[in-house]
């Protein structure tokens, strides 16, 4: 590759795609099959899915219905799932009104016409509503597997129905009416549909194991020679057993206790498939009829990529790390971003606070991130994912999504959503100190920081208070930017944040260690040892410790006034904390990614790149093509976790941090204003001879090439360089 010859972002992308290990096409052809909501007989849906339908949802119900469908599928497919039931369910009822004399529609739910409206159901399943000027109907949503509402929706014929849809209003209470959210799809309601599929062609290894060549989530297609078409109810499949694994060893594990359910069911048109989607790279067939069995394909669900990011450099290892991080995130983007394709297949707010940034650099999927925030942001008990810290991560993620993905139209909504969560946490806030109470005897709540880091119940963890402080600063920034009615609340929370900062300085700073203690009022780690990495990284990210590099704290507080440590010169304190921060002390790629991001805020980019090579390099395993939930050496075997031999997810979205960290650490490439309206470019190549990146920003593709002693940047019109970018950048308008 000759990076000096590239003359456009498209050429950088072409070079990246040529060397990428991602085997999936960016754009999925329209004749690929969307599986149905259950995963059974999904090929039978092919003809009906060719019919174009635009589905109309109540705006608040669509993300809730999408999440509920994902949770139901995940629980049906995985054998070890622990997911809080406190997420918001879709409304059981949907009311429709329309200023028209006639309307033809599909109804997902039982339809009852309103007074003055007649409704006739045709043999084709479409309703005809007729009236005089105003039409109305009430839909009762079908029930999901757990007996709660699956969500109701209205379908209109065709895709070009925006004008007609504007004449329709929807309500969940027949009082407050809103314009619908329109989602284009087919006869299956969009909230039940999954990602489109790509047919993978497996190869059989010498040991008989079938290799897909990549991690995948979907349905195997198994042929039994001489059996012919299998009629429903046949027991022929009992003679064949399927094992699936993200590693070769896992594919040979007893299916009765495996992480995924692999029950075989007849497949329409012949052969067999699984009742639920399965995840892995390796498939093993066994049983009495194994000599007649053959895996002829695997229909893998994959998220289409409209605009792709890229990273390339003179180091092939870094290139592979970025590539695998992007593929890991893409595979875990299944309508919403889930934690892993094997398990739990659920969205978690903490994970998303990291992978939202990876999304911004690799996929640019702002709508997916926004729907995730909407789906998780209204829990019934006030705790996102049933976890106090994940409520705080939701607030951080909302501000990061604003900065990295723009989301201009959702700014007011994000500010209000954060306010609503804060209000629901208000009973936990000590008025005098601002401390947020976590796990107490009166209100037992799980305070999760990281796997392998146990928080004492009888103490106040500094990490919780630092995350709380960061979350407050994020909400304040959102509310001030949104303006209007949010400004008074921003000032209120500013007062709370100042009390929290004062408490942290007085009770959380260990002057003797020159670091933040693990617990308020206790030195060191609270058990006689030195402070751990967790409070150090959260202090640097929250902004309570001033930065010493060319840019201040990460996130929405960048460019603002960082708070100092009481009695200690700010820059000295920051350097001390950064020196105390040993990323290897963190246990998972989630918090390791956060630790490296904290080092980046201090300009310690060579440490960041070196650690990425070392830590993520250990996951460049020949058997896997994606990054893992935990690093290889954390258990008795590379694959074990949670006390289970194959409990570790080997395709886990919270390990996608390098997709963000490499462009930031190597090229100094990050937004300094919401939506990349202003961008910082400050390459620090270290031992690299060249590096390049493309970011799919809301304003258009942004590309940077640093090679041959020159830096070229392709920026869209209206995007400006920040004052702390390096000099002598050749700016080209794309």
Specify the range with the lowest mean pLDDT, choosing from 102-106, 206-210, 311-315, 446-450: 446-450
Confidence of residue 226 (pLDDT cuts 50, 70, 90): low
Q: Which DSSP category does 33 fall into?
A: P
Tell me what pLDDT residue 50 has. 53
- Judged against a pLDDT cut of 70, whether residue 604 lies above it is answered with yes
Q: Percent of the chain having pLDDT more than 70?
A: 89
Confidence of residue 268 (pLDDT cuts 50, 70, 90): confident
Cβ contacts of 677 within 8 Å, gap of 6 or more: 671, 699, 718, 719, 720
CA angle, residues 480, 482, 488, in degrees to nearest 5: 50
- Of residues 722 and 566, the one with the higher pLDDT is 722
Contact 291, 282 (CB under 8 A): no
Structure confidence by residue, pLDDT tens digits, 634-660: 778 899 999 999 999 999 999 999 999
Q: Smallest Cα–Cα separation from 580: which of 631, 518, 656, 521?
A: 518
Q: Give the tokens for residue 428.
A: 């936990």
Contact 314, 686 (CB under 8 A): no
Phi, psi of 694 (to 5 degrees): -125, 135
Checking DSSP bridges between strand 127-130 and strand 102-108, what pairing results, if any?
antiparallel
Residue whose structure tokens are 């990273």: 311
Average pLDDT of the segment spanning 370-377: 98
Tell me what pLDDT residue 734 has. 80
What whole-number distance in Å separates Cα of residue 154 and Cα of residue 57?
Answer: 7
Confidence of residue 274 (pLDDT cuts 50, 70, 90): very high
B/e letters for 541-558, b = 16+ CB within 10 Å, e = fewer, are bbbbbbbbbebbbbbbbb
Tell me what pLDDT residue 636 has. 85
End-to-end CA distance of the chain: 22
Structure confidence by residue, pLDDT tens digits, 512-564: 998 999 999 999 999 899 999 999 999 999 999 733 343 333 334 333 334 54
Confidence of residue 108 (pLDDT cuts 50, 70, 90): very high
Tell me what pLDDT residue 164 has. 63
Tell me what pLDDT residue 563 has. 52
Confidence of residue 567 (pLDDT cuts 50, 70, 90): very low
What whole-number distance in Å separates Cα of residue 339 and Cα of residue 678?
Answer: 31
Looking at the whole model, is its pTM more than 0.85? yes
What whole-number distance in Å separates Cα of residue 476 and Cα of residue 560?
Answer: 12
Phi, psi of 416 (to 5 degrees): -70, -40
């Amino acid at each position: 590759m000759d990076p000096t010859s590239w003359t456009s972002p498209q050429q950088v992308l072409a070079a990246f795609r040529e060397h990428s290990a991602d085997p999936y096409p960016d754009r999925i052809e329209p004749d690929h099959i969307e599986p149905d909501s259950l995963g059974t007989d999904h090929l039978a849906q092919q003809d009906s899915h060719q019919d174009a339908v635009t589905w109309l949802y109540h705006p608040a119900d669509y993300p809730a219905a999408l999440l509920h469908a994902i949770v139901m599928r995940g629980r049906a497919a995985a054998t070890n799932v622990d997911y809080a039931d406190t997420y918001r369910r879709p409304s059981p009822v949907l009311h429709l009104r329309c200023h028209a004399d006639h309307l033809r529609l599909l109804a997902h739910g039982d339809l009852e016409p309103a007074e003055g409206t007649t409704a006739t159901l045709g043999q084709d399943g479409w309703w005809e509503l007729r009236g005089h000027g105003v039409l109305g109907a009430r839909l009762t949503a079908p029930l999901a597997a757990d007996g709660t509402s699956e969500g109701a929706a209205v379908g209109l014929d065709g895709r070009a129905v925006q004008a007609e849809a504007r004449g329709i209003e929807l309500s969940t209470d027949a009082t407050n009416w809103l314009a619908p959210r329109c989602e284009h799809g087919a006869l299956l309601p969009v909230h039940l549909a999954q990602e489109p599929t790509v047919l993978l062609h497996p190869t059989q290894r010498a040991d008989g194991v079938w290799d897909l060549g990549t991690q995948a989530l979907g349905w195997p297609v198994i042929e039994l020679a001489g059996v012919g078409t299998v009629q429903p109810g046949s027991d022929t499949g009992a003679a064949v057993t399927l094992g699936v694994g993200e590693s070769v060893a896992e594919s040979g594990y007893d299916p009765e206790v495996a992480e995924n359910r692999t029950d075989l069911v007849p497949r329409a048109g012949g052969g067999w498939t699984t009742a639920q989607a399965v995840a892995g790279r390796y498939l093993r067939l066994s049983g009495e009829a194994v000599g007649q069995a053959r895996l002829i394909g695997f229909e893998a669900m994959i998220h289409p990529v409209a605009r792709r990011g890229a990273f390339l450099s003179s180091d092939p290892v870094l290139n592979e790390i970025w590539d695998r991080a992007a593929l890991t995130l893409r595979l875990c983007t299944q309508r919403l971003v889930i934690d892993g394709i094997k398990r739990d297949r659920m969205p978690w707010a903490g994970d998303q606070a990291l992978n939202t940034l990876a999304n911004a650099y690799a996929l640019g999927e702002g709508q997916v991130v926004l729907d995730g925030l909407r789906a998780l942001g209204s829990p019934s008990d006030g705790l996102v994912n049933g976890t106090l810290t994940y409520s705080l991560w939701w607030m951080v993620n909302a501000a990061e999504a604003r900065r990295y993905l723009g989301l201009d139209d959702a700014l007011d909504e994000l500010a209000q959503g954060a306010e609503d969560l804060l209000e629901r946490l208000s009973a936990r806030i000590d008025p005098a100190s601002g401390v947020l109470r976590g796990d107490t005897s009166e209100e037992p709540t799980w305070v999760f920081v990281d796997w392998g880091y146990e928080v004492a119940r009888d103490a106040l963890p500094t990490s919780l208070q630092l995350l709380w402080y960061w979350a407050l600063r994020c909400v304040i920034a959102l509310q001030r930017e949104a303006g209007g009615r949010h400004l008074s609340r921003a000032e209120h929370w500013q007062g709370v944040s100042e009390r929290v900062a004062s408490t942290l300085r007085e009770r959380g700073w260990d002057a003797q260690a020159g670091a933040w203690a693990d617990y308020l009022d206790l030195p060191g780690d609270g058990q006689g040892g030195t402070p751990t990495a967790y409070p150090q990284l959260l202090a640097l990210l929250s902004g309570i410790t001033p930065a010493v590099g060319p840019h201040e704290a990460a996130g929405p507080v960048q460019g603002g006034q960082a708070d100092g440590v009481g009695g200690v010169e700010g820059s000295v304190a920051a350097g001390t904390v950064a020196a105390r921060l040993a990323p290897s002390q963190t246990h998972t790629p989630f918090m390791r990614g956060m630790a490296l991001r904290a080092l980046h805020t201090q300009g310690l980019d060579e440490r960041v790149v070196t650690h990425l090579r070392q830590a993520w390099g250990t996951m460049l395993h020949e058997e896997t093509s994606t990054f893992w939930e935990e690093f290889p050496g954390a258990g008795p075997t590379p694959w074990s976790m949670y006390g289970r031999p194959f409990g570790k997810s080997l395709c886990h979205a919270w390990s996608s941090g390098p997709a963000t960290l490499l462009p930031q650490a190597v090229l100094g490439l990050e937004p300094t204003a919401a939506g990349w309206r202003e961008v910082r470019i400050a390459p620090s190549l270290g031992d690299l001879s060249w590096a390049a990146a493309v970011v799919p920003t809301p304003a258009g593709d942004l590309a940077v090439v640093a090679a041959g002693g020159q830096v070229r940047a392709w920026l869209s019109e209206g995007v400006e360089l920040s004052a702390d970018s390096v000099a002598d950048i050749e700016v080209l308008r794309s």
